[in-house]
Structure 1
């Protein structure tokens, strides 16, 4: 192992050393350009620990390994969110501490610090889940003997206390004041199909089958660094075909006919996700109706399906949930409203 000054006269340092990987194989590593000798030595030590398969490395080094693993398994949008959470909420506290030295008390104190900030309960749960996922990764692949997250209850809540949605009457009040044809069509689709905002904005002419009254959902749109990026849907079950009510088909037919010489590959909509989200609040204020998020149109659709008696399985298929359990977890609080109807129907049979 060697840390020496470079011979190009720059005054910088390089590190050249051998390390043994998790399989026992020996490799040589060289990196140049360090401003100080101590920086080169620090890099050498961190790199060797990171690739040795042990938990002597710092939390930051483990994070780099964890994120590299995630990049082969998760969507880019999810990776970007993880990077932001770790950079702003987790690494400042744990970054320089050896992974194996982090205790449940440290996790507890970090949670207290996060809970003092004005974060929603669902965001707190997301932050905690990302931290717990890294320790599970370290436990599974790097022999972490004590997973400190297993000793400390997770902070936050998986679902928000109150779910916002519009009734059919409220929706009709708002849609009546939407004077932009493109936005009106977007909101119509979201309310009557329950699809996600990105799924709607990624639709092309070929996705609409007006004869069969269906829409094929095979992609989603994200906004990254000011550019539209179309990728595969959120999950495998998000790939689905959704039936359309007759009036929505009529509206789509008129909308498509109003486009200028559309090809089958042309996008139906050209508004950004942020614009669509901001506009719905303005229209709600104009209609004197409580403001909701665009995503809450999806909840509005689900609540309407529950109200008309659709089964959880049908709702899960229509919304593209991974399982019926997901549907019941999100919307279970709406089902007790149907208990009186069940009791009345059972009474009629006696």
Structure 2
């Protein structure tokens, strides 16, 4: 890409060749830009529009979709999208012209998806059906927003499936302490679960922690990255959302525990992961602890639920909790309120006292 300045009047222009969607070479000249930046911005927009045509095949448009979207997304997010596109969408639509795919075609595809099953022979869950439909709809929306498509046939056909909220399991403090006692035979496991339960951090945030993230004088831990295992490689990414970048105040006992842990294994100030383990390892250790103690089995992420539930029970506001755990929206935090139905009894008892004392 290049822009040129007219020496006579100081106005910028662009002149370039491009290959259109038919594979034919074309030339373009556009004058009248006040700055080089404006000229280059126009050229980028022009190329984006001209390289696509709504009569191109769906498969070719997906290549443009990838070019546009992949740089904006985290690698793990794109890989999830890519898997759905390659396995569930392209096999059905790849040879069709983008502009000729109708709502009826989408409905036929939906019916076929409903008939499929996973490796264990179970039909796809309503949540997964909704996820793959949303991805197809997102591709058409992209075509409408940037490439001139007029109608989203996936939206016209209507949604497939529904989002199912998983049951929020959690441990009470007593259940966690019982479990933690069983973990003390393996310091690495014990301290990992201590961070998960008492700070409410996500699993990926835990596995990305380094010694440099801790400020023991201020009793703080900085959450500014996340760990993923992608295609056999350890990958450190930014946290899940903008709000996930946060500094958490640790309880005094946890600061002491983590200082002991770092002294056992690591030199202060290193940038190496202090929990060089996998998510599979943590899952195995949780299963071991549950089996040894009889505590009900929950998922690793449910330790985050447990932390939030504990804070709710201690009387902290949803706003304060959302800030601590990095919820992007306070409404997410409100979803946890039902985990302590005994609050209703407490309210009723206090109202009864108020009425009798009147």
Q: Is TM (by shorter chain) over 0.5?
A: yes
Quote the RMSD (CA, aligned, Å): 2.9
Which residue number corresponds to residue 174 of structure 1?
179
Cα distance in 1 for partners of 2:137, 2:353 equals 51
| 1:137 and 2:142 correspond | yes
1:12-48 deviation digits (Å, cap 9, x = unpaired): xxxxx97447xxx9259xxxxxxxxxxxxxxxxxxx9
1:100-121 deviation digits (Å, cap 9, x = unpaired): 2222232233233333433333
C-alpha contact 2:52 2:61 (8 A) present in aligned 1: no
Cα distance in 1 for partners of 2:293, 2:157 equals 47
Unpaired segments ≥5 residues, structure 1: 1-16, 29-47
Which residue number corresponds to residue 129 of structure 2?
124
Which residue number corresponds to residue 92 of structure 1?
91
TM-score w.r.t. length of structure 1: 0.79
C-alpha contact 1:56 1:100 (8 A) present in aligned 2: yes
Shift of 1:279: 2.6
Residues 267, 59 of structure 1: alpha-carbon distance in 2 compared, 3 angstrom cutoff: same
Which residue number corresponds to residue 158 of structure 1?
163
- Secondary structure of 1:72 counterpart: helix
Which residue number corresponds to residue 292 of structure 2?
286
TM-score w.r.t. length of structure 2: 0.78
How many residues are matched? 312
Which residue number corresponds to residue 31 of structure 1?
none
Residues 246, 26 of structure 1: alpha-carbon distance in 2 compared, 3 angstrom cutoff: same
C-alpha contact 2:212 2:268 (8 A) present in aligned 1: no
Cα distance in 1 for partners of 2:61, 2:49 equals 7
Shift of 1:79: 0.8
Shift of 1:159: 4.4
1:286-325 deviation digits (Å, cap 9, x = unpaired): 3223322212211221222222222221122112121213
C-alpha contact 1:49 1:57 (8 A) present in aligned 2: no
Shift of 1:348: 5.2
C-alpha contact 1:114 1:124 (8 A) present in aligned 2: yes
Cα distance in 2 for partners of 1:92, 1:49 equals 25
Cα distance in 2 for partners of 1:77, 1:155 equals 24
Cα distance in 2 for partners of 1:243, 1:279 equals 26
Which residue number corresponds to residue 199 of structure 1?
205
